[in-house]
Amino acid sequence: MAENSAISWTTHTWNPWMGCTKVSPACDGCYAEALMDKRYNKVQWGNHPRQRTGAHTWNDPRRWQRQAEKDGSRPFVFCASLADIFDNQVPVEWRADAFNVMRETPRLVYLLLTKRPQNIVKFADAAGGLPANAAIGTTCEDQPRADKNLVALRVAKIELQPLFTFGSFEPLLGLITVPPGFMPDWVITGGETDQGGHKARVTELAWTRALRDQAIAAGKAYHHKQNGEWLAWGQALEDETTNLLSFGKDPTRYQTINGEIYSRVGKKLSGRFLDGMTHDAFPEVAA
């Protein structure tokens, strides 16, 4: 359902089904709900039936596999950007079917991101086992979610031996200290963006820097996806023709938090710079 994805940490996105139920503060501004429920009326969010996608979408990975064979590449595929691959409200058969497609396309690296990491082992076993070309990851937006989800991710790593593990710290909503031994192989950070009626919260610069520094100190791959709607005044803009001072101190576009001044400049203008540079690291996978 997306090819050559705009998401910086994947090549493609693939959605075998759509729909989800909100389970944490990271879900407050769910882009999938804003897009597929509120805008296009494709599926109803919450405790409602999920919507399986059509044959064309289910065939996309096979086409990407053929291209990867020609290129000698290993594209990353974010599976279920409009759902949760380990959602307990999804029919067991659907997940088994999706895992079979993954096994049929071994050159693709599937990124299985979930807000329900406690389900990974049980549901992967029920679907015939985790495909060998799958990586598993979890969303951690604040310390309570990190404490719970990274432990479950570690358990799943030991049990299932995925290609690698990853943590999506997006939208980052608080300072996170990763417990020793629980740092994922790949750390992705990002600020929040506006979605429908939900207005983005500020991701404090100190929070992003802390995860960057922890990941690098642990020797893990670090990727900063975006700053979100808000940008700290001390940060460089990718668009050098614009000055943050031009946004003034309109209270709807300006905040001072812990001594840092932030302006609401919008996702596009805030860009991906963190302390003047981009962080685009990916975990290594065998060719």
Q: pLDDT per residue over 71-100, tens digit each? A: 999 999 999 999 999 999 999 999 999 999
pLDDT above 70: residue 2: no
Domain membership flag for residue 219: no
Domain membership flag for residue 239: no
Query: 88 and 50 in contact (C-beta within 8 Å)?
Result: no
Could you tell me the pTM of the whole model?
0.95
Separation between Cα atoms, residue 84 and residue 94, nearest integer Å: 12
Domain membership flag for residue 151: yes
Domain membership flag for residue 65: yes
Which range marks the domain in which residue 28 is found?
12-169
pLDDT above 70: residue 146: yes
Separation between Cα atoms, residue 270 and residue 231, nearest integer Å: 6
Domain membership flag for residue 287: no
Domain membership flag for residue 132: yes
Q: Is 32 exposed, middle or buried (0-12, 13-18, 19+ CB in 10 A)?
A: buried
Domain membership flag for residue 270: no
Mean pLDDT, the chain, whole residue set: 94
3-state helix, strand, coil in the chain (%, to 5): 30, 20, 50
Q: Which of 113, 175, 104, 106 is nearest to 146 (CA)?
A: 175
Domain membership flag for residue 278: no
Count how many domains the chain has.
Answer: 1
